[in-house]
Amino acid sequence: MGGVPRAGLRLRAGPDAAGPVRPAPHLLAVEHEDSCPPALVGEWLTRAGCTIEVCRPYAGDALPALTSYDGVVVLGGEMGANDDDAHAWLPPLRSGIRDAVAAGTPLLGICLGHQLIAVALGGAVARNPRGQTVGLQPVGWTAAAATDDLVGEHVGGEQAIHWNNDVAVRLPDGAVVLARTPDGQVQAARFGPRAWGIQAHPEADTAIIERWLSSEGDTEAGGGRGHDPDAVLAAIRAAAPALTSWWQPVAVRFAAVVAAGTREGAHA
């Protein structure tokens, strides 16, 4: 599993960062539970030259203003996008998402994060009528993806790790579907010029998958109910190098979008 700092600490820019020396873009990652850390996406963004501050509201961290960061990543979790009673930080987070989109702060939602963006902007999320989606799924890129600022140079025949019960059943006005799952559910979307959501889990490594598969009860993984855990894990382990080759460029591109906005702000 990728190393993740304690709340309030930052991942420093790594050796892969290139170009002239300038302050590293400062990202916020909102983590909803310890089983869904930034992991691989955090590592890739760090190598691309970003610093990442992880906010863990479930552990008592105060949720900061999203617009005070150069970019924001909202991670996954077992809760639903509207489970406000049990997770008090969700309403202020949705409000912060609206502010970030309005301000043009680069925003990337992963699984629950994708769903939270959809709901925050006026869309709707519900249980997938076809049931829980677990394991590798093909990515069904749409024509709109080819010219998208985040995934346009990345579109191909990729797969992605899915682990979700809920899906975005209605996108907000103006949102653009970038990919669909084989059963037709929204797999990736652009919610604004600098705001994206991915229903999949590009951040998950095999250690995280093992943890989800071994979980009990109604969790993010749900224990992989109805699925052969050995087969799921073996397929993901075998695909790990390819998954990195497909999804690391998306994280790098998000870092570039963030860096471009940072430079624009510096010259404003």
What CATH number is given to the structural domain containing 178? 3.40.50.880
The reply to whether 216 falls in a domain is yes
According to the model, what pLDDT value does residue 87 have?
98
The reply to whether 3 falls in a domain is no
Between CA 181 and CA 158 the distance in angstroms is 12
The reply to whether 185 falls in a domain is yes
User: What pLDDT digit, counting tens, does each position of 164-206 carry?
Assistant: 999 999 999 999 999 999 999 999 999 999 999 999 999 999 9
| pLDDT greater than 60 at residue 267 | no
The length of the chain, given as a count of residues: 268
Q: What is the DSSP letter of 190?
A: E
Between CA 128 and CA 133 the distance in angstroms is 8
The reply to whether 4 falls in a domain is no
The reply to whether 2 falls in a domain is no
User: What pLDDT digit, counting tens, does each position of 204-220 carry?
Assistant: 999 999 999 988 443 44
Nearest by Cα to 103 from 72, 145, 81: 72
Total domains present in the chain: 1
Q: Which structural domain range is residue 37 located in?
A: 10-266
The reply to whether 214 falls in a domain is yes
